[in-house]
Structure 1
Amino acid sequence: MASRRSRLINTFQQGIRWFHGSNIAQRQTMVEGLPLNYEVAGGGKKVALCMPGALGTIQSDFGPQMKSLAGKNLTLVCWDPPGYGKSWPPPRQYSLDFLHRDAAIAALLMKTLKYDKYSLLGWSDGGISALILAAAYPQHVDKLVVWGANAYVSDQDVKIYEGIRDINKWSQRMRAPLEAIYGTEYFKEAWEGWVDTLLHIYHEKGGDICKGDLAKITCSTLIIHGAKDPVAPLSHGQYLHENIKGSQLVIMDEGKHNIHLRSPEEFNKIVYQFLFKE
């Protein structure tokens, strides 16, 4: 399990290295009584919302995209979900439908920012919320790209989550990047809350996160998945592809969970071509 934890922490370290050196200004707005931190990069007419993963932030999860994918043809909006990054405090509120709530709040954020039509780029938990948002608000979503996402929790996933739950078993080097963002106490509370909630979904909902939403997705959809993803096994990407009508599946043979951070040039090229393909 140590190597899996190490890969998760490397995700944050790689993303933050990319983000540092950019000149993207921070902004904040209120949505549903929640202070939401967000960034806007690029100046294109085509707009996409970037949706981070568990405990993810703009800095940790989308540095290479905000810096290099956004440009004169593409505007990227990225947010810190409620209770994460600089959208904290207030603390993260977990429930069996917390990813559905994220989807609804993200849609309201884009409405507040006066973006009526946009694409979605969602990673991991953010990919799940992107699936839900695309299903619930088809009139607003142009195209959908998800990677490292899953629509259900399996027996295999439960073992993965249980293996990474206790941060006291992590080395200081592994904990340091997250503690730098959240502090020790809140990091522990938020991480355990996330793991416990996924386990509750497994036990109380038969593992169903958003399986019923997939048939409602009508926009052009690209699913990218790392063949060696240790956090969301490839079977999840294949399930999404089989259950989202007309979707495309790209498998990165050497890819792991954070394919957009490990291979940003290849990843950004795939996404850009999809977004601008007629």
Structure 2
Amino acid sequence: MMAQKLLGAFTVSLLGSKCTSNFVFRAATVFTSSRSMSSGKKMVNGVELFYDSRGNGDHALVCIAGAMGTTKSDFAPQLDYFGSREGLRVVGFDPRGYGNSRPPKRHFSGTSSFESDARDAKGLMDALNVKKFSVLGWSDGGISGMILAALFPNSIRSLVIWGANSYVSKEDVECYEAIRDLSKWSQKMREPLEQEYGKEGLHELWNGWCDMIKDVQQSDGNICNHMLSNITCPTLILHGMKDPMVPNFHPDHLLENIKGSVRHNFPDGKHNIHLRYSEEFNKIVEDFVRKH
């Protein structure tokens, strides 16, 4: 029963809306009376990253996706909302090895993939001529968001994270191992990801991710704990109090160790609060980032 609950919450939170198919995009820009939209690929740190940019405001937000996620699957409500708000611009991208940022294959090795995504987010914003921006990071993207804020403090206006952790506990590994076997996932849960990556590709990605997390825990458990004191930007920690993937002790730890951070809870929320409660979530985030 516990494994089924974990599986359901995890898969729904990963998918959100239908994943994009893997085809080649060429950069295109559409201008309306108050905003612009562009998508395409940019060469960043030796890899072509697919990105989706909405709006033309001076305050830019970059969204960093979770495990196996894409900008469309993970942030569709945020792209639509923030891209239409006066003074804001939102940029999402498919992390290397995911979605339309393939090739290359996703590479899992210790915690290096989290830092790689952080540096790619910074590189993409540089390529888009955005020098200072706010960060929205979900799950794995929240980890990369913390690393990004720690590595490039002068570039980050504010940081918003949810479903994220700075270390891996034994409890975390037990949670992920309970949902490792893809054959136990329902067809509805598996199908969109299989359409994106193929059955073998999805199996390889998911096992690679689970192995990485297990290896980190068996080492010293540290992902970015040592960087938390280097985060100096205003930070908002959002949390679904019924999140089966990220127990409450993780946001408790982040709130205690990121100086000046604030927290907002969704009492009935699980891992995908930005999708399940998108209207409330977006307004809370907008209020926070506009202050900074």
Quickly name the TM-score band, shorter chain normalised: over 0.9
- TM-fit CA distance, 1:14: 3.0
Residue of structure 1 in register with 2:9 after alignment? 7
Q: Where do residues 99-178 of structure 1 align in structure 2 (5 Å cutoff)?
A: 99-178=114-193
Shift of residue 106, structure 1, vs aligned partner? 1.5
CA distance in 1, matches of 2:38, 2:18: 15
Counterpart Cα distance in 2 of 1:50 and 1:14 = 15
**Residue 261 of structure 1, aligned match among 275, 283, 291:** 275
Query: AA paired with 1:226?
Result: G
CA distance in 2, matches of 1:245, 1:273: 20
1:52 and 1:61 in contact (8 A); partners too: yes
CA distance in structure 2 between the aligned counterparts of 1:225 and 1:126, rounded to whole angstroms = 14
Give 1:168's aligned amino acid. S
CA separation in 2, counterparts of 1:12 and 1:102? 17
TM-score, normalised to structure 1's length? 0.94
User: What residue in structure 1 maps to residue 245 of structure 2?
Assistant: 231
Indicate the larger mover: 106-115 or 54-63: 106-115
Partner of 1:38: 51
Contact 2:12 2:272 in 1 (8 A): no
- One-letter identity of the residue aligned with 1:169: K
Distance 2:38 2:129 in 1: 19
Once residues 277 and 57 of structure 2 are traced to their aligned partners in structure 1, the CA distance between those partners, rounded to angstroms, is 24
1:82 matched residue in structure 2:
96
| Counterpart contact for 1:39–1:79, Cα < 8 Å | yes
Q: CA RMSD in A?
A: 1.4
Deviations 1:198-229 (A, max 9, x none): 0000012x111000100000000000011000
Residues 67 and 16 of structure 1, relative CA distance in 2, 3 Å threshold: farther
CA distance in 2, matches of 1:261, 1:124: 13
In the aligned structure 1, how far is the partner of 2:192 from the partner of 2:11?
7
The structural deviation recorded for 1:68 is 1.4
Q: Any conservation in 2 of the 1:11–1:60 contact (CA below 8 Å)?
A: no
Aligned to 1:179: 194
- Of all paired residues, the percent bearing the same amino acid is 46
Task: Note if 1:57 corresponds to 2:70.
Answer: yes
Q: Residue 239 of structure 2 aligns to which amino acid in structure 1?
A: H
* Aligned counterparts of 1:208 and 1:67: Cα–Cα separation in 2: 35
Rounded to whole Å, the distance in 2 between the matches of 1:33 and 1:13 is 28
Offset of residue 196 of structure 1 = 0.5
Instruction: Give the Cα separation in 2 of the matches to 1:15 and 1:245.
Output: 35
The residue type equivalent to 1:181 in the other structure is E
| 1:4 partner SS | helix
Contact kept in structure 2, 1:16 and 1:63, CA below 8 Å: no
Query: Residues of 2 paired with 1:200 and 1:12: CA distance?
Result: 22
Q: Is the 8 A contact 2:49 2:93 kept in 1?
A: yes
Moved more, 5-14 or 85-94: 5-14
Alpha-carbon distance in structure 1 between the residues aligned to 2:223 and 2:250? 12
Q: Are the equivalent residues in 1 in contact too, given 2:64–2:141 (CA < 8 A)? A: yes
Count of residue pairs brought into register by the alignment: 272
Give 1:20's aligned residue: none
What TM-score results when the alignment is normalised by the length of structure 2? 0.90
Asked if the contact 2:18/2:192 (under 8 Å) is kept, the reply is: no
Question: Runs ≥4 in structure 1, deviation > 6 angstroms?
Answer: none
Q: Match for 1:30: what amino acid?
A: M
Cα distance in structure 2, aligned partners of 1:11 and 1:162: 17
Shift in Å, 1:28: 0.5
